[in-house]
A and B are shown apart, each in its own frame.
Chain A
Amino acid sequence: DQQVKQNSPSLSVQEGRISILNCDYTNSMFDYFLWYKKYPAEGPTFLISISSIKDKNEDGRFTVFLNKSAKHLSLHIVPSQPGDSAVYFCAARNSGGGADGLTFGKGTHLIIQP
């Protein structure tokens, strides 16, 4: 079963507008959430993370929101730029004792249109 789901395989947004990428999870033991960006032929690049004790974390143009009751998180990119076109992965982890590795969603391909 997929514990981390990104239900939109692709998303097209105009340059300068807001991009919102969504992610749902089912495992209530997850307490650390991350977003990665991936270009073809490169490894994932860490963007931003949030722990379960927070509901928002901001870093420049990137903001991650966490809704624990809904088991949902989202990544907002404002304003969207052409270089943001990439595949975005949501990942989660149970950071407690005996922690597992990251569990990833299948990714959302973000396309920024000029």
Chain B
Amino acid sequence: KAGVTQTPRYLIKTRGQQVTLSCSPISGHRSVSWYQQTPGQGLQFLFEYFSETQRNKGNFPGRFSGRQFSNSRSEMNVSTLELGDSALYLCASSLAPGRYQPQHFGDGTRLSIL
């Protein structure tokens, strides 16, 4: 069974640019969440999507946005990139956003801002 697939694996951008990251969930999973991992802050929740609707959002500025398509695939966009946006961005999927559903993670996209 294929796991969560994130593309690209690595990305280098410069300040002020924007970036789009992609996530394909496990087949049959309809909920997709995004997380940012940095050495200082650890793993932090960005947002969660289900049925093409954002259900929850973490404490991140509006430069961070996302969307989900009808096939449950999701994209995350960061505009006006800052040096502090350098991080590992992880996508996780679960069957549904209901109670007691474990989230399964992809291997992430490593974003470096120069």
**A: which residues have CB within 8 A of B?**
31-32, 34, 36, 41-46, 49, 51, 89, 91, 95-96, 98-107
The number of chain B residues touching the other chain, given as a range, is: 20 to 34
Q: Which of B4, B35, B42, B100 contacts A101 (CB 8 A)?
A: B35
Known: A101-B56, A104-B42, A104-B43. A44 touches B100 (CB 8 A): no
Contact B45 A102 (CB under 8 A): yes
A89's partner among B4, B43, B55 (CB-CB below 8 A) is B43
Judge whether B103 and A99 touch: CB under 8 Å.
no
Which residues of chain B come closer than 8 Å to A101, judged between CB atoms? 33, 35, 45-48, 56, 58
Q: Cβ of A49 and Cβ of B105 under 8 Å apart?
A: no
Contact (Cβ within 8 A) B42 A105: yes
* A31 to B55 alpha-carbon distance, docked (Å): 18
Instruction: Write the residues of chain B forming the contact surface with A, with a CB cutoff of 8 angstroms.
Output: 4, 6, 33, 35, 42-48, 55-56, 58, 90, 92, 97-100, 102-108
Interface of A, helix, strand, loop or mixed by DSSP = loop
Closest to A31 in B: B99
**Alpha-carbon separation in the docked complex, A42 to B90 (Å):** 10
Please, which residues of chain B bring their CB within 8 A of the CB of A106? Answer: 42
Inter-chain contact A43/B90, CB cutoff 8 Å: yes
Q: A99-B56, A103-B45 are in contact. Are A46 and B102 (CB under 8 A)?
A: yes
How far, in Å, is B66 (CB) from chain A's closest CB? 12
Tell me whether B45 and A100 are in contact (CB under 8 A): yes
Q: Of A32, A41, A102, which contacts B107 at CB under 8 A?
A: A41
